[in-house]
Chains A and B, each alone.
Chain A
Amino acid sequence: DQQVKQNSPSLSVQEGRISILNCDYTNSMFDYFLWYKKYPAEGPTFLISISSIKDKNEDGRFTVFLNKSAKHLSLHIVPSQPGDSAVYFCAADINAGGTSYGKLTFGQGTILTVHP
């Protein structure tokens, strides 16, 4: 049972435009969400996160939106740059008031390609 799903295996955008990566989850116990970026043959690196008490978190060009009623989150990258080309994973955790062991559940990933 895939509790975190990224239904778009790939996304292609033009440099300077907005990239929107989507993620859906089914487990209503999830209360903390993260996005990781991964280059080939490397480990993922943390990008941005959001707690379920918020509906938006922004860090420079990256913004994550959370819609709890729809069990949906999205990552917006504005403006997109060729260096953003990578695989993006969303992940979810049951933080339960700060007692998480970090047992993250990951989506399948979306390959983002930003064309110059």
Chain B
Amino acid sequence: DTAVSQTPKYLVTQMGNDKSIKCEQNLGHDTMYWYKQDSKKFLKIMFSYNNKELIINETVPNRFSPKSPDKAHLNLHINSLELGDSAVYFCASSQNSPMDEQYFGPGTRLTVT
């Protein structure tokens, strides 16, 4: 009974392609996030949605577009993939209260060749 799930777990693709990563949470949380973790394990927030509304949009190339069809789902679409996009992408969710922790998915390892 996975709390935050992501698909696919691995994604290998060539430069210039377009790909999507899906995320679903069954915790009833209102807020969902996308993070990028690079090879040095540095975690960078990309986007956050609260009840389907975009609330955090960090400096991320326009090639990245999040979409939240409902509050349990947050997808990430990436256009024109570049070598530098290779990383592990994590989805997370949390309650609205600032004292509440985030629950992370297992990650999607994206490799662009």
Decide whether A and B assemble into one complex: no
